[in-house]
């Protein structure tokens, strides 16, 4: 609501909708009688003090009729929208539920209908189903259904790629159950928000149908019908037509503005605002205030999704200039979600909160959307596992790199192109002038990853986030990319967050390791101390699962028994307890992250250390 009232369009939309709804609610009770009072002596009058919008051919006051007719107009719009929403959602979800071929047929039909003009479809349906309010409502509902079906399909497709849907599929959960349990609840909110705007459109469309004589028929009346009645006199008594026209336009614009403002305010994941985290969860390096001189200082970062899914739980992290911090943990521990939250990439309906989150000394939550984007765009570079996801296959690599300079630095095209070639050279791409003119598919996997790193270097990154950038590459190319990342971070003096599930890779590249388990940091220590100094049983288990020269190749590699709890099932106590050989009754309570020295922190009641324990938080 606060976000809604921050934009002028939100305020105007809310005010117009409030007035419309109040008129609709009380109109017939207050002005209903006056609207029906026939006075032959006052027939066809123009605007006057007594009748500001004039009178109709029976001498009825048009202003009273506009005010009293609001209820019917709004009710019809609601009904048409409800029909469109119900039918559209059904059509949108059907492809996910039906067998593949039937699903494609439905998708094809929806696509064809979306291309068909909605008003024509509404008129066609209204004429077939009989003139009058009923036919018009049905026609508009049916005309709106394809666009709502398309929206539902698009939203369903984004949810369908989520891990939990994939998991449900693997578990052979029936399709209809996946649709109703996993897909619909996650797309309900954006659909409802879109329906607010759709309400405005159906109100205007419904009035349009009545104006064309295809909708409400006398003696009933809505705003469209009043406009129809007044239109023949528009040149003589303009107010008789302008009155209902203003009502239609104001209500239509109001619902549309409110719908857009609502969608905008919900879509922006709030960063900031203190989040209550469990006792003692505090990183040694991050206090209440951002750490001085840090390129990234995050405190109590939490990411939540509906149904209590919380992949990141009160995580604190600090990265200093030139430092490479490795974020390690098994799949699903929340590493990528942490990176996405820092980069402002957590998609709706995820909500990001943090005690503070500052990049290069600037608190992200206090910046305007435009400034935040600019800061992230110029000071932070992200490299993902799949470089093709960052490169547009249809554009030349050089052009894509140059675009960063054109957009963020306002550079001219030749200068931006020259910089792109320079950056490709910097990441050791041979013959960069020629390569810049090629498309991504002409690059090898390692070269694409280099190109993405080069793209990050088009700005002046102070923070480099690399999310499993070498996983898809062969060992030799992996080494080259790791070396390059080190080089880049050293040259640019940038801090780096390197995400990996492979503790061996992390120990090769990084200065400091942060170990994550079930959304929380369980240990943080310098790489140099990893082998001898790791204290958390989970870190030790990760290290023990690494093969070395003495490993018997005939035996399977050691693995950690059991499973990490899913983000919705992390209980109150130590999340690792069920897999831990050292677990005792004490582990029912979650151990706080405890600092042993300036660089080493562990969250375990049984952490073995010879160092003096200095509890924090």
Ligand X SMILES: Nc1ncnc2c1ncn2[C@@H]1O[C@H](COP(=O)(O)OP(=O)(O)OP(=O)(O)O)[C@@H](O)[C@H]1O
What's the min distance (Å) between Cβ of 325 and ligand X? Answer: 15
What's the min distance (Å) between Cβ of 159 and ligand X? Answer: 8
Closer of 106 and 309 to ligand X (Cβ)? 309
Cis peptide before 443 (omega within 30 of 0): no
φ, ψ of residue 607 in degrees (nearest 5): -55, 125
- Enter the tokens of residue 540: 């030790």
Closer of 204 and 452 to ligand X (Cβ)? 452
Q: Where are the alpha helices (DSSP H) in 411-474?
A: 413-426, 432-436, 445-456
3-state secondary structure 498-536: EEECCHHHHHHHCCEEEEEECCEEEEEEEHHHHHHHCCC
What's the min distance (Å) between Cβ of 320 and ligand X? Answer: 23
Contact 507, 318 (CB under 8 A): no
For residues 43 and 40, give the distance between their C-alpha atoms in angstroms, rounded to a whole number.
5
Binding site for ligand X (CB under 6 A): 162-164, 305, 309, 311, 329, 331-337, 350, 501, 566-567
For residues 555 and 571, give the distance between their C-alpha atoms in angstroms, rounded to a whole number.
35
What's the min distance (Å) between Cβ of 305 and ligand X? Answer: 4
Closer of 331 and 559 to ligand X (Cβ)? 331
What's the min distance (Å) between Cβ of 484 and ligand X? Answer: 22
Residue 325 parent element (H or E): strand 324-328
Closer of 160 and 367 to ligand X (Cβ)? 160
Q: Which residues pair with 520 in a beta bridge?
A: 517
> Burial letters for 403-439: b for 16+ Cβ neighbours within 10 Å, e otherwise?
bbbbeeeebeeeebbbbbbebbbbbebeebeebbeee
What's the min distance (Å) between Cβ of 355 and ligand X? Answer: 20
**Going by DSSP bridges, is the β-strand pair 520-526/600-602 parallel, antiparallel, or unpaired?**
antiparallel
What's the min distance (Å) between Cβ of 176 and ligand X? Answer: 21
- For residues 547, 549, 554, 560, the Cα torsion angle rounded to the nearest 10 degrees is -20
What's the min distance (Å) between Cβ of 261 and ligand X? Answer: 24
What's the min distance (Å) between Cβ of 191 and ligand X? Answer: 17
What's the min distance (Å) between Cβ of 180 and ligand X? Answer: 17
Closer of 200 and 349 to ligand X (Cβ)? 349
What's the min distance (Å) between Cβ of 310 and ligand X? Answer: 9
Q: At how many degrees (to 10) do helices 223-231 and 239-267 cross?
A: 150
What's the min distance (Å) between Cβ of 348 and ligand X? Answer: 9
Contacts of the segment 239-246: beta carbons below 8 A, 24+ positions apart: 239/46, 239/47, 239/52, 239/53, 239/54, 239/62, 240/46, 240/47, 240/53, 240/54, 240/56, 240/62, 242/53, 243/52, 243/53, 243/62, 243/63, 243/66, 244/62, 244/66, 244/69, 244/207
Closer of 113 and 269 to ligand X (Cβ)? 269
Residue carrying the six token digits 């989520």 = 162
DSSP letters spanning 66-106: HHHHHHHHHHHHHHHHHHHHHHHHHHHHHHHHS-HHHHHHH
Residue 317 parent element (H or E): strand 309-319
Query: Distance between alpha carbon 160 and the CA centroid of its chain, in Å?
Result: 15
What's the min distance (Å) between Cβ of 521 and ligand X? Answer: 13
Query: Distance between alpha carbon 382 and the CA centroid of its chain, in Å?
Result: 18
**Going by DSSP bridges, is the β-strand pair 495-500/463-467 parallel, antiparallel, or unpaired?**
parallel
For residues 449 and 385, give the distance between their C-alpha atoms in angstroms, rounded to a whole number.
8
Closer of 95 and 334 to ligand X (Cβ)? 334
Closer of 201 and 500 to ligand X (Cβ)? 500
Closer of 336 and 489 to ligand X (Cβ)? 336
What's the min distance (Å) between Cβ of 450 and ligand X? Answer: 22
- Enter the tokens of residue 483: 């070396």
What's the min distance (Å) between Cβ of 497 and ligand X? Answer: 12
Helix, strand, coil shares, percent, the chain, to 5:
55, 10, 35
Closer of 66 and 352 to ligand X (Cβ)? 352
φ, ψ of residue 352 in degrees (nearest 5): -105, 130
Closer of 182 and 595 to ligand X (Cβ)? 182
By C-alpha distance, which of 536, 541, 489, 538 is closest to 510? 489
């Amino acid at each position: 609501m606060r976000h809604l009232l921050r934009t002028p369009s939100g305020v105007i939309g809310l005010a117009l909708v409030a007035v419309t709804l109040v008129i609709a609610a009380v109109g017939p009770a207050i002005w209903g009688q006056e609207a029906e009072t026939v006075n032959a002596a006052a027939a066809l009058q123009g605007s006057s003090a007594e009748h500001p919008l004039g009178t109709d051919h029976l001498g009825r006051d048009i202003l009273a009729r506009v005010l009293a007719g609001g209820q019917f107009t709004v009710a019809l719009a609601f009904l048409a929208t409800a029909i469109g929403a119900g039918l559209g959602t059904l059509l949108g979800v059907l492809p996910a539920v039906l067998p593949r071929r039937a699903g494609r047929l439905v998708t094809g039909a929806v696509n064809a209908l979306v291309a068909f003009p909605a008003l024509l479809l509404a008129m066609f349906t209204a004429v077939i189903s009989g003139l009058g309010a009923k036919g018009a409502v049905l026609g508009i509902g049916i005309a709106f259904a394809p666009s709502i079906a398309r929206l539902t399909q698009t939203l369903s497709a984004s949810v369908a790629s989520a891990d939990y849907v994939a998991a449900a599929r693997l578990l052979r959960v029936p399709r209809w159950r996946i649709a109703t349990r996993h897909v619909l609840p996650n797309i309900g909110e954006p659909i409802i928000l879109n329906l607010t705007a759709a309400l405005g459109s159906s109100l205007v469309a419904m009035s349009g149908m009545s104006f064309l004589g295809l909708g409400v028929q006398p003696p009933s009346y809505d705003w469209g019908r009043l406009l129809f009645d007044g239109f023949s006199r528009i040149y003589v008594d303009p107010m008789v037509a302008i009155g209902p026209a203003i009502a239609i336009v104001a209500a239509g614009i109001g619902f549309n503005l409110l719908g857009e403002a609502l969608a905008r305010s919900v879509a922006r994941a709030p960063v900031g605002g203190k989040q209550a985290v469990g006792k003692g969860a505090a990183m040694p390096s991050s206090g209440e205030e951002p750490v001085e001189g840090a390129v990234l200082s995050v405190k109590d970062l939490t990411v939540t999704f509906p149904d209590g899914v919380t992949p990141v739980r009160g995580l604190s992290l600090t990265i200093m200039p030139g430092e490479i911090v490795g974020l390690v943990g098994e799949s699903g521990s929340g590493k990528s979600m942490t990176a996405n939250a820092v980069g402002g990439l957590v998609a709706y309906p995820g909500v990001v909160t943090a005690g503070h989150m500052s990049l290069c000394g600037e608190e992200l939550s206090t910046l305007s959307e435009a400034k935040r984007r600019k800061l992230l765009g110029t000071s932070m570079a992200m490299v993902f596992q799949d470089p093709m996801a960052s490169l547009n296959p249809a554009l030349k690599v050089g052009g894509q790199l140059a675009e960063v300079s054109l957009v963020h630095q306002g550079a001219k095209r030749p200068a931006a192109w020259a910089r792109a070639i320079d950056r490709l050279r910097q990441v050791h791409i041979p013959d960069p002038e020629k390569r810049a003119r090629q498309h991504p598919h002409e690059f090898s996997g390692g070269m694409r990853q280099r190109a993405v790193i080069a793209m990050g270097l088009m700005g002046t990154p102070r923070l480099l986030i690399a999310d499993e950038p070498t996983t898809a590459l062969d060992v030799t190319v992996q080494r080259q990319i790791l070396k390059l990342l080190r080089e880049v971070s050293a040259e640019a003096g940038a801090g780096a967050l390197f995400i990996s599930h492979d503790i061996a890779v992390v120990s090769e590249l990084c200065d400091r390791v942060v170990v994550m388990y079930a959304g929380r940091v369980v240990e943080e220590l310098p790489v140099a101390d990893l082998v001898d100094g790791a204290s958390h049983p989970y870190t030790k288990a990760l290290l023990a699962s690494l093969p070395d020269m003495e490993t018997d190749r005939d035996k399977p590699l050691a693995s950690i028994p059991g499973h990490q709890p899913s983000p919705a099932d992390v209980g109150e106590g130590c999340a690792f307890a069920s897999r831990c050989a050292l677990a005792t009754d004490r582990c029912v309570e979650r151990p706080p992250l405890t600092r042993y020295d300036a660089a080493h922190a562990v969250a375990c009641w049984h952490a073995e250390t010879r160092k003096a324990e200095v509890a924090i938080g």
